[in-house]
Amino acid sequence: MTMPTYLDYNATAPLKPAVVEAMSAALAETGNASSVHRFGRLARRAIETARGQVAALVGASQHQVVFTAGGTEANNLALAQHRSMRVLASAIEHESVLGAAGDAVVIPVDRDGRVDLNALERLLGREGGPALVAVMLANNETGVIQPVADVARIAHGHGAFVHCDAVQAAGKIAIDFAALGVDTLALSAHKLGGPQGVGALVVADRVELQPMLRGGGQERGRRAGTENTAGIIGFGIAAELAARDIETISRLAGLRDEMEARLRRAAPESIVFGAAAPRLPNTSCIAMPGVAAETQVMALDLAGIAVSAGSACSSGKVKPSHVLAAMGAGDLAGNAIRVSGGWRSAPEDFDRLVEGWTTLWARLGANRAGSAAPAA
């Protein structure tokens, strides 16, 4: 029996064996990290070790890491600091940022999916007063990497704060928190082989973080609630492994590029979004003209291949991508799927995707795409 092929790492990565082992051991122990007896002290020591491991992944200091229940909470915690400020958010931000930002001023992106720095400069200069700029490090749908250090330079020149959602980028490209120059940065464990339900907000020393959850002194008073000790331990191990294996992940770019070339040869009408921009090495967003993304996802699933259409955070629904719409994709936004590999991906996984995709194209797409414009 052929094993299913998993190419949806941007939704969630499989747990790494060392993470499972560490979490299993932690779950067998007893102790609340806020307790002063031996059991509590051991739990606290394990959490602080994990805090150091997560900090090291992004070049931050241990005391700058605040553990949360995931990337969504980390994004919400960051934006909650600036409720009274004008918020500017890129058009391609994750829903957890856009939803928390309220009526944010939208920073446009170009056709390659990169934030328009000139537009950012104009928007910041249009009105006075304090502001928050939210720009992600790498897009979850296209993999396009954003010029965050330039964003921070421009924003700080106008006295604005900067939040960066680095959930998709962590473990796939090197991150230096200080070099980025942002005020806060969000992370999530399950995107890099750790458990779901654990994340972190990295906070610059110049930011006085106010808690969104109150009622306890955990996380140095910055996030109340008993810590998820086993999950945090798993996050720490996953972060340490991700930092060690980042060169291995970078080699996925070759497999990704070869896959895209093969798909383009089979279907010249197909379009790879963001291909002209710097991208995460594991991510491809490709449109099959004439065939709905939902149809592609279901057909590939029946063939034993797991991919997605857009973000995986929409309660299982496939809906038009606001990211691709912002890039000017038009109707093709409804024809795009995301292929994303990871630490367990092998060349044969991409071979199988090419086989399944080209078979579907021959059956459904080739006769429907006559009016589709070829990719540039």
User: How far is the C-alpha of 282 from the C-alpha of 345, rounded, in Å?
Assistant: 10
Q: What is the DSSP letter of 330?
A: G
Count CB neighbours of 262 within 10 A: 17
At 129 the three-state DSSP class reads coil
User: How far is the C-alpha of 274 from the C-alpha of 143, rounded, in Å?
Assistant: 8
Is 313 an annotated catalytic residue?
A: yes
User: How far is the C-alpha of 373 from the C-alpha of 365, rounded, in Å?
Assistant: 14
For the chain, what is the radius of gyration of the CA atoms?
Answer: 21
C-alpha separations of 289 from 228, 256, 274, 330, 360 in Å: 45, 20, 17, 11, 12
117-126 and 148-157 helices cross at what angle (nearest 10)? 20
Contacts of 12 (CB under 8 A, 6+ apart): 190, 191, 196, 312
User: How far is the C-alpha of 12 from the C-alpha of 338, rounded, in Å?
Assistant: 13
By the 8 A CB rule, do 17 and 364 touch? no
User: How far is the C-alpha of 195 from the C-alpha of 292, rounded, in Å?
Assistant: 32
For residue 112, with 0-12 CB atoms within 10 Å meaning exposed, 13-18 middle and 19 or more buried, which class applies? middle
Q: Which one of the listed residues 261, 298, 313, 346 is annotated catalytic?
A: 313
List active site positions: 313
